[in-house]
């Protein structure tokens, strides 16, 4: 929400503010609405966590979540910041920071520098999606890889609140997809397709992020190398 408010002017259209949040073009409505859908889910999770971990919470504890839901419900992307600013005013932001402080003790903490790594991997995934679409892969393989990269991208956005669980699920999904299509993917590896090699490199980087948490699933740590060995 802080990033949404960054550099907002009274006449700034919210599509530009969301584009800043989701690191996409203001014209990429699919990415923006996909991100808003993800934020609806995160806001619901945060509300549930507040209910579960702050016993006998007063009603005003939940008002900031209502305000965020109200903002997320504004679907007219040409709406100006001046029309929605009251939904995320200083009081709402202060309340969210206070609740975050109360909940921090109940959630796992990532290792120092993890957020910078997340940003780096997100940038790499965006590059890979563009590289995939411009490659000479078959349309079927393009859809397969883009779908998995978008799933990993969404899981990385969830990472700050949900920890490694979503990443592990996305990795498992990617691993299963690779194994189901191993014949076609193996042919590209044999031809030393640079995009496919980079895809496995990103899987390894995402895995490294899960190991930064105290309860990382050890079995997933070598997933990139494991898949490459299977495909040899």
Q: Give the separation between CA 184 and CA 141, rounded to whole angstroms.
A: 8
pLDDT confidence of residue 112: 59
pLDDT confidence of residue 179: 85
Q: Which CATH class is domain 114-231?
A: mainly alpha
Q: Is the pLDDT of residue 108 over 60?
A: no
Mean pLDDT of 124-131: 92
Counting beta carbons within 10 angstroms of the beta carbon of residue 173, is it exposed (0 to 12), middle (13 to 18) or buried (19 or more)? middle
In this predicted model, what pLDDT tens digit does every residue of 56-100 receive, in sequence order? 777 777 889 999 999 999 999 999 999 999 999 988 888 888 888
Q: Give the separation between CA 53 and CA 45, rounded to whole angstroms.
A: 12
Domain boundaries in the chain?
2-104, 114-231
The reported pTM is 0.53
Mean pLDDT of 23-37: 92
Within the chain, residue ranges assigned H as helices are 2-5, 14-22, 29-53, 63-72, 81-84, 90-104, 114-134, 139-162, 165-180, 182-190, 194-210, 223-231
């Amino acid at each position: 929400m802080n990033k949404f408010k960054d550099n907002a002017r009274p006449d700034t259209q919210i599509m530009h503010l969301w584009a800043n949040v989701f690191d996409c073009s203001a014209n990429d409505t699919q990415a923006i609405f996909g991100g808003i859908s993800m934020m609806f889910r995160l806001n619901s999770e945060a509300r549930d966590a507040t209910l579960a971990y702050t016993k006998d919470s007063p009603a005003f504890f939940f008002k900031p979540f209502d305000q965020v839901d109200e903002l997320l419900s504004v679907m007219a992307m040409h709406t100006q910041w001046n029309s929605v600013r009251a939904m995320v005013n200083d009081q709402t932001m202060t309340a969210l920071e206070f609740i975050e402080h109360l909940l921090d003790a109940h959630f796992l903490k990532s290792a120092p520098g993890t957020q910078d790594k997340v940003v780096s991997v997100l940038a790499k995934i965006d590059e890979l999606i563009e590289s995939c679409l411009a490659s000479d892969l078959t349309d079927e393989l393009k859809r397969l890889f883009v779908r998995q990269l978008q799933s990993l991208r969404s899981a990385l956005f969830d990472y700050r609140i949900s920890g490694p669980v979503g990443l592990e699920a996305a990795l498992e999904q990617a691993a299963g997809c690779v194994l189901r299509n191993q014949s076609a993917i193996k042919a590209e590896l044999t031809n030393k397709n640079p995009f496919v090699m980079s895809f496995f490199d990103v899987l390894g980087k995402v895995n490294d992020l899960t190991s930064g948490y105290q309860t990382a699933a050890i079995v997933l740590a070598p997933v990139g190398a494991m898949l490459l060995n299977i495909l040899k």
